[in-house]
Amino acid sequence: MLTQFTFSKYERLRKRPEFIRLSEAGRSFHTAHFIIVWCDVATCHARIGITVSRKVGKAVVRNHIKRLIREYFRLSKNKFQKAEYNIIAKRGAERLLFQDVRLELDKALTVIVSSRKC
């Protein structure tokens, strides 16, 4: 099994205090459909959390957006630097296809990588 394409629990933000610490200490970048909050921390790999509020849609829609973001992370781990990220979906994200998510997050990550300070 290739561990390069897995999404283990060590690569996720799972607890509420982790999300709060990241939102207080992190920097943010806005795209048309996402807000990416990130902060450099002493981790050995990138960690992500995904937030999709009820404003975006019902449970089925929110879960679909989360699956798209998780799949993007799983396939594009090499684009994420060693930091913690919270990807927050805005209204309108429910209309995106995987290709749209990939293009939008690719552009955002290139900007984030070029401005690496927390």
Work out the number of other CB atoms within 10 angstroms of the CB of residue 60: 8
Q: Is residue 29 part of a domain?
A: yes
Q: Is residue 79 part of a domain?
A: yes
Both tokens of residue 94?
A: 């429910």
AA identity, residue 6: T
The pLDDT, as a whole number, for residue 114 is 85
pLDDT tens for 21-45 read: 999 999 999 999 999 999 988 778 8
pLDDT tens for 45-71 read: 889 999 999 999 999 999 999 999 999
Give me the helices (H) in 76-115, please: 98-114
The CATH number of residue 13's host domain is 3.30.230.10
* pTM for the structure as a whole: 0.90
pLDDT value at 11 more than 80: yes
Q: Which domain, by its residues, includes 28?
A: 9-112
d(CA 95, CA 46): 27
Both tokens of residue 11?
A: 């690569």
pLDDT value at 1 more than 60: no
pLDDT value at 118 more than 80: no
Q: Is residue 74 part of a domain?
A: yes
| Predicted confidence band of residue 2 (pLDDT cuts 50, 70, 90) | low
